Amino acid sequence: MYRKQVRRRRAVLVLLVVIALVLISATFSQSSGGPLHSIQQGMASVFSPLEEGATRALKPARDLVNWVSETFNARGENSDLKADVQKLRAKLAKTQSAIGENEELRKLVGLDNKGILAGYEPVTARVIGRPQTVWYSTVTIDAGSHSGVAVNDPVINGDGLVGRVTDVTPFSAKVTLITDSENAVSASVLPNGPEGVAEPEAGDPNVMLLDFIDRNEPIHEGQMVVTAGWSNGTISSAYPRGIPIGEVRQTTVGQEETYQHIRLEPYPDIRDLDIVQVATNGPERPGVPK
């Protein structure tokens, strides 16, 4: 029984193949107006609406599949773009940081070329610590006694006087800034002006005061103020002569007062220090302990 069913199926298959070959041959051999072409056109007319309906019915599903595919592709591209942006941002930050350091070092070289720190051995350092307060008067640098840094060594940056070393470890040091209330600086007004004492104005680290200038001394806005660097053989000022401190911004004097009130704008941006230079192994200054 099973063998008869197999033989019958094979016979039907062979018959269908033969009919298909005959129809294909007839289709290619007859003209466009033949009966087979008419049958094909009629069947196309019957099934065309069904095909169009199926296409419309399946369009939302096809659109959904396309939308999911495009969304995943877009997310992948967006992730790649974000990674590229992060890399470019890191490169830009590194480049700008290098430019800033180069400018600061060139300023320091400019001060050295003026002979301001003649007789000293400059040690370049970076600020690595600031107190976590709005008002601070010290910073920590990454150079210490191992590099020759000692207490009371002057500290400058490319713009001028920053402060002096007040504590040292082998590989770091604390610098007390010129804006500290106890860090007064003997100062001289250029070109041939009088000497006084520069100290911070209470509550404003961006302003310093130049005290003890006689009321009759002609002081004008824009004049440069530098360290006086005096010594009488027994005691000396804490800093060598000629380091820029700041610029005169305002002078006032009361009718009954002996001294002028002179406001200075410090040259260094004390709130944004990065690279500094410590003047080490300088000449002895009487009265200034090491």
Domain tally, the chain? 1
Both structure tokens of 287 = 């009265």
Residue 47, pLDDT score: 47
- pLDDT tens digits, residue range 109-137? 655 555 677 788 889 999 998 876 656 78
pLDDT higher than threshold 50 for residue 82: yes
Instruction: Please tell me which of 73-87, 106-120, 197-211 the model is most confident about, judged by mean pLDDT.
Output: 197-211
- Is residue 200 scored above 90 in pLDDT? no
Give me the chain's average pLDDT, please: 76
74 confidence band (pLDDT: 50, 70, 90): confident
What tens digit of pLDDT does each residue of 21-47 get?
555 555 555 555 555 555 555 554 554
Task: pLDDT band for 141, please (50, 70, 90 cuts).
Answer: very high
What is the torsion angle, in degrees rounded to the nearest 10, for the CA atoms of residue 33, residue 36, residue 41 and residue 45? Answer: 150
* pLDDT greater than 90 at residue 256: no
Structure tokens that stand for 285 in this block: 């200054």
CATH of the domain at 174: 2.40.10.340
Containing domain of residue 154, as a range?
Answer: 121-280
Is residue 51 assigned to a domain? no
How do residues 223-237 score in pLDDT, each as one tens digit? 999 998 877 777 878
- Rounded mean pLDDT of 93-107? 55
Separation between Cα atoms, residue 68 and residue 71, nearest integer Å = 5
Q: Does 72 fall in a domain?
A: no
Do the domain assignments include residue 88?
no
Count the Cβ atoms, other than its own, within 10 Å of residue 144. 22
- The CA-CA-CA angle for residues 83, 88, 91, to 5°, reads 130
Per-residue burial over 147-174, b if 16 or more Cβ lie within 10 Å, else e, is bebbebbbbbbbbbbbbbbbebeeebbb
Residue 213 has pLDDT above 70, yes or no: yes
pLDDT at 109: 61
Beta strands in the chain (DSSP E): 121-129, 138-141, 154-157, 160-169, 172-177, 185-189, 195-201, 204-211, 224-227, 244-252, 261-266, 275-280
Q: Is residue 140 part of a domain?
A: yes
User: Domain for residue 233, yes or no?
Assistant: yes
Split at pLDDT 50, 70, 90, the class of 94 is low
Contact (Cβ atoms closer than 8 angstroms) between residue 165 and residue 177: no
pLDDT for position 97: 47
Is 39 part of a structural domain of the chain?
A: no
In a domain, 104, yes or no: no
Greater confidence (71 vs 239) lies with: 239
Place 91 in a pLDDT band, splitting at 50, 70 and 90.
Answer: low
Residue 94 within any structural domain of the chain = no
Residue 101: pLDDT over 70: no
